[in-house]
Amino acid sequence: MLATASQTRSLVGSFYYDRALNQKIKGGHVVATNGIPQYASAAVQLAYMQAYCSEKYEVKAINIVLSHSSKDKELLAAHPERKNRYVNDFLDECKKNGIDLTNAAWIMMEHVNTDCDHYHMILLTTKFDGSRLDTGFIGKRAAKAAMAASKKNGLHFAEGLEKREQARLRHIAKASGELNISSTPVGLSSKDLEKLGKVSEENKSIKRRADARRAKSVEEANKRRNWVKETFERLAREASSLDDLSTSMYGEGITFGQDEKENYTATIMVGERQVTYKLGRLDANLSLIDEVKKREEADKKAKEMEKKKQEEKRKREEEQRRPGRSFHL
């Protein structure tokens, strides 16, 4: 058996398809429900689902499709009771894998129009109390439930799923440096378990080295931030203008500027990577920029006054040198 899951935003559309209301050849026989009358008419069943469904959730339901393997076609034809047993086992395994089938409404229908019979299950995302159903990783959970139910009933299942599950556990063991053997699923040999157990100390060492590198990287980043902040504040106290500040900072390897929102920035090169800081986020004293502007404005006014004085002096000198100007006593 194989299970897949998908989201649906159209409850009516999904119900019409899964209930096979427009294509009776599909079947659409209801085999199990929760919170919905199993033997009622399709209209009544849909009315129940719409009553439970909350408009505040964009995803109205999860559609789980449960398919038999073609290898089991003859076996199930000879023993149809296994279908019902398998469905019940699948529902139990869903609950064990964290899919809440108790507190939300759902309906499961059987389709018989393909080479292999299969089931469509509509699980509402609105729980009976109005809260949202936890649907995280529901596709993986449903697939694991289908695999476990298949094993119980001697049916074929997606072998790749079990291999992926084993690989996932190996990856977790390597990443954490720990292995809880009691939680390891059937399928890992004792030799595999022994190998996984031996990697514990090695991977703890790898994790310690990675943590040390990460801590060093954070320390270096903090040092760069502090250096940029301190350099800006030191040069801003000495600068006579913003151009003077920009030139001085450039000489220290820092490009001073502003972003599109007019935040003052400082850009440096870290290796071949360009890193830009907002000076405000470095907790730099931005009032120093106002002081630079004041000094620049005062210097500008002083120069204008000096220029004006020089112009007046020039005019007086020209007036004195003008021809024909004389004084009589």
- Quick: pLDDT tens for 250-286: 999 999 999 988 999 999 998 888 999 999 999 999 9
What pLDDT band is residue 178 in, cutting at 50, 70 and 90? very low
What pLDDT band is residue 61 in, cutting at 50, 70 and 90? very high
Q: What mean pLDDT do residues 226-255 have?
A: 94
pLDDT for the residue 230: 95
| Interacting residues of 181 by C-beta distance below 8 A, sequence separation 6+ | 193, 197
pLDDT per position as a tens digit, 187-199: 444 554 454 455 4
User: Are the CB atoms for 70 and 116 separated by under 8 Å?
Assistant: yes
What pLDDT band is residue 315 in, cutting at 50, 70 and 90? confident
pLDDT for the residue 255: 94
pLDDT per position as a tens digit, 94-124: 999 999 999 999 999 888 766 667 888 999 9
Q: Write down the mean pLDDT value for the chain.
A: 80
Q: Which domains does the chain have, with CATH numbers?
A: 2-156 (3.30.930.30)
User: Are the CB atoms for 155 and 68 separated by under 8 Å?
Assistant: yes
User: CA 104 to CA 106: how far, in whole Å?
Assistant: 7
| In the predicted structure, residue 310 carries a pLDDT above the cut 70 | yes
- Count Cα neighbours of 61 within 13 Å in the Cβ-side half-sphere: 26
Nearest to 161 by CA among 179, 180, 176, 142: 142
* Dihedrals phi, psi of 79, to nearest 5 degrees: -130, 70
| Interacting residues of 72 by C-beta distance below 8 A, sequence separation 6+ | 1, 116, 155, 156
This prediction's pTM? 0.49
